[in-house]
Structure 1
Amino acid sequence: MNTMTSIEQMKKHHLQMKQAFNRNPMPTIDARVDKLVRLKAALISYSDNICQAMNQDYGRRSVQDTLMADILPCVANIDYSIDMLSDWMSPSVRHPSALLASSHVEVIYQPKGVVGIVTPWNFPIMLSVGPLIGAIAAGNRAMIKMSEFTPATNQVLAIMLASVFDIDEVIVVEGEADVSSQFTALAFDHLLFTGSTAVGRLVMRAAADNLTPVTLELGGKSPVIVADDVSMELAVERIIYGKSLNNGQVCVAPDYVLVPEQQKDAFIAEYKKQYQTLFVDGVDSENLTSVANDRQFQRISSLLNSEIEAGTRVEPCHENRIDAGQHRLVTHLVVEPKLTASIMEEEIFGPLLPVIGYTDIEQAIAIVNSKPRPLALYLMSFNVDLQTRIKTTIHSGGMCINDCVFHLAVDDAPFGGIGESGQGNYHGKEGFTTFSHAKTVMTSGKDHPIKLLFETGDNNFKSQVLSLLGK
């Protein structure tokens, strides 16, 4: 099983992995495809074990959540990467300037080397194997730091990856904060971190000492703007699945909803109605995922209790709403919290959903723009002019119109944040280029006109060059 927890072991293995990469710095396409094919087979073979392990780590993790949000996206990503890898690896021919017209210019894509991947607890398979797919497609080796909050899943993942990769190709690292800080301080050739904005800042500082390029996949408060031209039935239908996936413990989950004031109560009634259809038994529903651990449950409970104590209207979506012993909670709609309250300042990352009424679209836009740029932005509207305005004037990492969350599953499009929600991106071709070095290669032949620039007197080449300056 390719796993380790010792800091000294980790440092030693990092060095050995870099040495192994130097012995084979440009794996062939056949070698990369073979690894991806075997990784896909392993994911499918170990899917039951992964579901059981994640259920153990969470207390209860919906099998549907694990299959649909952890395993299936990785399988689809592998298929797409294999289909496109030949195109991605092909040199890109570029056009030289007039000065260098006799030369040939191309951009080749070299593997960066050893990639570090830091994985959170909410989707430990998708957020470890997903980046790994891009790293392997680009020809790299990888060390994966897993969360200490998913020990059972970490063990299954380590065993699964050991069935596919040699120990100097991919390794799983476990450990708490001390191991994490030492991991991010290693001289990786690229580091990808998924987690909170606060920890992302620490990761970037640690990587800076080694000038390690960093991709940060963070979070933030992803808003939903519900316009006045859509029915509340449709708006709720498109929001509720994204908010219920993993019980809201998703970096792109809808974090708060802005709805026309006159339709606010209709939205709340419709949300509760649809929720009770999806989760018939409330917290006892088999398909409802638990809040991952007691620490997260206490954090969510604190946000909720603060609003209750402040007298804010709170609407549980089911009367069987809480099981503290099993850290289970149904979605609670928090109606009109103060914009300065903690629930409107912190990323919720759980089953609480603030609902805020607005009188006109300008007010809704102003609320979104008053907060840091989010990882995702959602608009429920069929008004083409409004769609154009929102998608072009409000910044966010990504966006869905009349949908939410599932842009994350698009293989042929980049995923990433902006500002406090992250930097850089991966998935698809962007994943390949993130983990590759784009190297410009200029090849010149026996004849080279540049020497004519340095000859005394005038000549045709000098005249042509000076003509570019209007001389």
Structure 2
Amino acid sequence: MSEDSHIEFLLSDALARQRAAFEADPHPSLATRRDRLDRIGRLLKDRGPEICAAVSRDFGHRSVHETTMLEIVPLMGALRHTRSHLRRWMKPERRGRSIEFLQLKNTVQYQPLGVIGVMVPWNYPIFLALGPLIDILAAGNRAIIKPSELVPQTSALLSTLIGAYFAPEEVTVIEGGVDVAAAFSAQPFDHLVFTGSTAVGRKVMAAAAANLTPVTLELGGKSPTIVAPDYSHFSAARDIVFGKLMNAGQTCIAPDYVLVEKGRLEQFVSALQAEIVRCYPSQSSAMHYTGIVGERAHRRLVDGLQECRDRGVRLVTADITLPQAGFAIAPTLVIDPPADCRLMEEEIFGPILPIIPYDTLDDAIAFIRARPRPLTLYLFTGRNETRRKVLESTISGNVTVNGTLLHVAQNDLPFGGVGPSGIGAYHGFDGFKRFSHARGIATVRIFNPARLAMPPYGRLTELLAKFMGRI
């Protein structure tokens, strides 16, 4: 059997096994769903140290605190939220009816879809595997997970842990490289979740289209940050450094570039420098700062910086101690780079932050509107008028005002992109609905009003049509 045939057999077998199990129990009980959620919680609680160690090895170095706070803690919050609301979410949802159909009772039943495929990126290999899984299992589905080959130790551990806490008919993990990913996206899942780059997202969507598989694509893009003239640049710098340097900027919702009033540019640059040193003092920065995931990603970032140097752009590099293992890049501010350089045309995905001066707030908004719709928008302002103007004038997946990253941790907010930054949203009830079929059910209670419109037609039919056709 060839390698391609072997991969296809593994995927088809896993999908067939899960689909058969789903058909035998197409609407799992509340108790069954809660049990599956509880097993994710036990996995995280019991094996947290192993997870942190594996992630750190794959990144060269990543702080235990960072993996705990960015991956494990948000998952535990999502589990608590989902478990506490699941009974209500599963109940049929009452819907209204018009006056001519008062004899009907209308409801929506959220029905499990079946088997969901999840393609996981390398940057948050636990959060972006188990986060969708929480919503998938809450909705009553089964799942097959394809982790990233760029974090092999974490992927292997995830496979082992899922196998220890779940039967293959419930959840299973299939590891592999690009060939496995291509075959995975071409399987006839009942829904497919992909998190990654826009370029790869296009390929995944094309492969899924052959089976009419609906997709949720969580992509990325260049998430902008506006610091309004009224806002303290010292306060903004603190939150921006936090959002940008968590995971060394390898975050799809990290601030990608900052727009700041031209007259405050130098003050803001100084504030950012001071905040970077405060967050990563020399005695602990090597322990708390995350490495770049691999040589290829490191080289792409280095090349982007070199292009700016060659074009005479001012770079401000923070003086911190980098981790000894693996690859790392010091936090670097890129002051007013040209719009056609690599760092301004591609998602950065690293600890590099372009700072773009603007003359007026309208100029900042126009700069954002001239580019593809981003996954996230950040705005720092204390004025309601400015907040309203920016939110009404721009389109993005999500927004955090006067902070960074916070929207992704809100379990009652949908999370997702728009246009080039993604399709569909999940988290909490929005995730439960995303991985369910909303089946509308109309029930005749006493008298079927359609009988008034049945042939033979006459005066009653004409009066009924006139009444129902009113404005």
What is the TM-score of this pair, normalised by structure 2?
0.96
Q: Matches of residues 193-212 of structure 1 in structure 2 within 5 Å?
A: 193-212=194-213
Change (3 A) 1:322 1:299: farther
1:259: which partner in 2?
Answer: 260
Secondary structure at the counterpart of residue 441 of structure 1:
strand
| Long gaps (5+) in structure 1 | none
- State yes or no: 1:109 paired with 2:113: no
1:400: which partner in 2?
Answer: 400
Query: Which range moves more in the overlay, 8-17 or 286-295?
Result: 8-17
Q: Take 1:432 and 1:326, find their aligned partners in 2: how far apart are those partners?
A: 39
Secondary structure at the counterpart of residue 281 of structure 2:
coil
Secondary structure at the counterpart of residue 33 of structure 2:
helix
State the shift of 1:448 in Å: 1.6
Q: Take 2:366 and 2:448, find their aligned partners in 1: how far apart are those partners?
A: 58
Q: Take 2:283 and 2:395, find their aligned partners in 1: how far apart are those partners?
A: 36
1:92: which partner in 2?
Answer: 93
1:54: which partner in 2?
Answer: 55
8 Å CA contact retained: 1:135, 1:141: yes
1:437: which partner in 2?
Answer: 437
2:177: which partner in 1?
Answer: 176
2:426: which partner in 1?
Answer: 426
Q: Take 2:403 and 2:285, find their aligned partners in 1: how far apart are those partners?
A: 28
State the shift of 1:370 in Å: 1.0
Secondary structure at the counterpart of residue 163 of structure 1:
helix
State the shift of 1:253 in Å: 0.2
8 Å CA contact retained: 2:282, 2:320: no
8 Å CA contact retained: 1:43, 1:160: no
8 Å CA contact retained: 2:280, 2:320: no
Q: Take 1:351 and 1:282, find their aligned partners in 2: how far apart are those partners?
A: 20
Q: Take 1:358 and 1:110, find their aligned partners in 2: how far apart are those partners?
A: 50
Q: Take 1:468 and 1:444, find their aligned partners in 2: how far apart are those partners?
A: 19
State the shift of 1:310 in Å: 1.1
Structure 2 letter corresponding to 1:408: V
2:3: which partner in 1?
Answer: none
Structure 2 letter corresponding to 1:216: L
Q: Take 2:465 and 2:83, find their aligned partners in 1: how far apart are those partners?
A: 45
Structure 2 letter corresponding to 1:130: G
Q: Take 2:448 and 2:231, find their aligned partners in 1: how far apart are those partners?
A: 65
- State yes or no: 1:366 paired with 2:366: yes
2:286: which partner in 1?
Answer: 285
Q: Take 1:11 and 1:470, find their aligned partners in 2: how far apart are those partners?
A: 54
8 Å CA contact retained: 1:224, 1:257: yes
1:119: which partner in 2?
Answer: 120
Q: Take 1:98 and 1:230, find their aligned partners in 2: how far apart are those partners?
A: 52
8 Å CA contact retained: 2:198, 2:421: yes
Q: Matches of residues 29-68 of structure 1 in structure 2 within 5 Å?
A: 29-68=30-69
Q: Take 2:322 and 2:154, find their aligned partners in 1: how far apart are those partners?
A: 28
8 Å CA contact retained: 2:289, 2:322: no
8 Å CA contact retained: 2:192, 2:213: yes
State the shift of 1:454 in Å: 2.4
Change (3 A) 1:442 1:118: same
8 Å CA contact retained: 2:411, 2:428: yes
Change (3 A) 1:117 1:350: same
Q: Matches of residues 60-459 of structure 1 in structure 2 within 5 Å?
A: 60-281=61-282, 285-318=286-319, 320=321, 326-445=326-445, 447-456=447-456, 458=458
State the shift of 1:462 in Å: 5.2
State the shift of 1:223 in Å: 0.6
Secondary structure at the counterpart of residue 122 of structure 1:
coil
Structure 1 letter corresponding to 2:398: G
State the shift of 1:183 in Å: 0.2
8 Å CA contact retained: 1:452, 1:459: no
Query: Which range moves more in the overlay, 313-322 or 437-446?
Result: 313-322
Work out the number of aligned pairs and report it: 466
Structure 2 letter corresponding to 1:81: T
8 Å CA contact retained: 1:398, 1:417: yes
8 Å CA contact retained: 1:71, 1:126: yes
Query: Which range moves more in the overlay, 447-456 or 106-115?
Result: 447-456
8 Å CA contact retained: 1:312, 1:337: yes
Q: Take 1:93 and 1:395, find their aligned partners in 2: how far apart are those partners?
A: 32
Secondary structure at the counterpart of residue 23 of structure 2:
helix
Secondary structure at the counterpart of residue 329 of structure 1:
coil
Query: % of aligned pairs identical?
Result: 38
What is the TM-score of this pair, normalised by structure 1?
0.96
State the shift of 1:101 in Å: 2.7
Deviations 1:48-103 (A, max 9, x none): 00001011111101111100111111111000000110111110111233443322
Deviations 1:100-146 (A, max 9, x none): 33222211011000000000000000000000000000000000000
1:12: which partner in 2?
Answer: 13
Q: Take 2:24 and 2:368, find their aligned partners in 1: how far apart are those partners?
A: 51
State the shift of 1:242 in Å: 0.3
State the shift of 1:162 in Å: 2.0
Q: Take 1:390 and 1:265, find their aligned partners in 2: how far apart are those partners?
A: 24
8 Å CA contact retained: 1:283, 1:321: no
State the shift of 1:321 in Å: 6.7
Q: Take 1:159 and 1:428, find their aligned partners in 2: how far apart are those partners?
A: 27
State the shift of 1:24 in Å: 0.7
RMSD: 1.7
8 Å CA contact retained: 1:103, 1:442: yes
Secondary structure at the counterpart of residue 46 of structure 1:
helix
8 Å CA contact retained: 2:197, 2:219: yes
Structure 1 letter corresponding to 2:368: V
Structure 2 letter corresponding to 1:353: L
8 Å CA contact retained: 2:286, 2:322: no
Q: Take 1:115 and 1:32, find their aligned partners in 2: how far apart are those partners?
A: 15
Change (3 A) 1:268 1:177: same
